[in-house]
Amino acid sequence: MKNICYIMSLKRGLPAFVYREIENLIENKFNVFIYSTKYGKGIYNPPADYKIEKLSKLKIFTSLIYHLVSHPLVIISLFYSSVKTKTLVDFVIALQYSRQLKKDKIDVIHAVEGLHSFSIAYYCQRIYPIKNIVTIYGDALYIHPNKQFLKKSLDSADLIFTVADYNKQIIQKEFAQDENKVFVRRLPFDYKKYTAKNKISILITGQFAQRKGHEILFKAVKLLNNKNIEIWVVGIESWGDTDGVNIRQMINDLEITDQVVLWGALEEQKLRILYEKADIFCLPSRFYRIAEGLPTVIIEAMSYEKPVISTKHAGIPEVLSEILVDENDINGLAKAIETMIKRKDDWKTMGSKNREIVKELYCKENINKFERKIEQLIDGK
């Protein structure tokens, strides 16, 4: 197996395309190491089994001593060069990384586009002779703060990869790189995952609390064993201390991760988009220490002319006549979902009926009753 080292920033985790690229390399029997200049969390984070080298002041210091003893003239020369070219920080980082390259028995460096990765790779190659490839996505061609040293880094690279012929032309003309050294490559992309699918989307919104019935919905969908059903979950942790649920754990335990999309907490403008795009709204409310009252999210879904599935809980039957199931009835909810899917031609009629109910119950006159009661109280009537 070949060992490849990525030099890059993980300030916001891994970019999606780099994550896919690394997974593809691992699948093709490469050992992948990541030497990170910065480290933080993002949407795509390195799995626990990734080999990651983080910067360490102690390692930098001990590496400096090691290099000065091993090849002092090279280190002193590179030090003066880094001061002159304003790349001292990159040289210092390379002291640690170049020594680690030897320990990890790395076969090739892959410098991923960034403000420092190319020059760090350049110094690593000078300290510890090794093959060096770079990938330019585009930004470096325009915003790199040290274009002169960027050219020097590209000159020392064994191969240069970029993602478009347009970029290749710039690299060849503006940075004087041999066309036989610059290659256009397509980033790993699984088009099968980005195929439009005729899925039924079920939206549930609210706190991640026992009384909202997330567990009942998840188990009902699991029971149906219909991969065309996708649950959209919007919400935040429970406000209470004793009724919170671990949504992610539920999904993992039921093995339905491929059927659930967790949106997190959304501001109203974004939530409206989901209301509009979802096929069905479902909130299987239940009594858990306290009752729900009348969940506002049901009113919101009805106003968006969505067919709604809920339970015979608290005030919900006051606004919904169909489709209602008993609380905690997993089988009943599964049948209700199955029935709703079969009645797809009726969704528009059901949704229109729901909106008319909302318009009647929540008209301006009814809403104003609140203010009138307050005025009457104040006026002593």
Q: How confident is the model over 214-239, as pLDDT tens digits?
A: 999 999 999 999 999 999 999 998 87
Respond yes or no on whether the N-terminal peptide bond of residue 200 is cis (omega within 30° of 0).
Answer: no
Taking CB atoms within 8 Å and a gap of at least 24, the contacts of 334-338 are 334/220, 334/221, 334/223, 334/224, 336/309, 337/202, 337/220, 337/221, 337/224, 337/229, 337/280, 337/282, 337/309, 338/224, 338/226
Calpha distance 237→244 (Å, rounded):
7
Tokens of 91: 């040289």
Exposed (0-12), middle (13-18) or buried (19+): which is 343, by Cβ within 10 Å? middle
Say which residues have a Cβ less than 8 Å from residue 27's Cβ, sequence separation at least 6.
none
Calpha distance 104→33 (Å, rounded):
9
* Strands of the 308-311 sheet, one edge to the other: 260-264, 229-234, 200-205, 280-283, 308-311, 324-325
On average, the pLDDT of the chain sits at 94
Q: State residue 381's pLDDT score.
A: 67
Alpha carbon distances (Å) from 325 to 4, 188, 239, 312, 347: 57, 46, 26, 6, 18
Domain architecture of the chain: domains with CATH: 2-184 (3.40.50.2000), 196-366 (3.40.50.2000)
Please give the radius of gyration of the chain, using alpha carbons only, rounded to the nearest integer. 30
Question: Per-residue b/e over 130-154, b at no fewer than 16 CB within 10 Å?
Answer: bebbbbbbeebbeebebeebbbbbb
* Spatial contact of 130 and 106, defined as CB atoms under 8 Å apart: yes
Alpha carbon distances (Å) from 12 to 18, 36, 305: 12, 11, 39
Calpha distance 346→340 (Å, rounded):
9
Q: 263 — phi, psi (to 5°)?
A: -90, -15
- Summarize pLDDT for 304-328 with one digit per residue, the tens: 999 999 999 999 999 998 899 999 9
Pairing relationship of beta strands 229-234 and 200-205 according to DSSP bridges: parallel
**Weakly modelled stretches of the chain, pLDDT under 70:** 240, 381
Q: State residue 321's pLDDT score.
A: 85
End-to-end Cα spacing for the chain: 86
Alpha carbon distances (Å) from 84 to 88, 91, 122, 373: 8, 12, 15, 78
* Spatial contact of 111 and 7, defined as CB atoms under 8 Å apart: yes
Tokens of 316: 């919900």
Say which residues have a Cβ less than 8 Å from residue 83's Cβ, sequence separation at least 6.
none
* Spatial contact of 64 and 35, defined as CB atoms under 8 Å apart: no
What residue type is 157 in one-letter code?
A: A
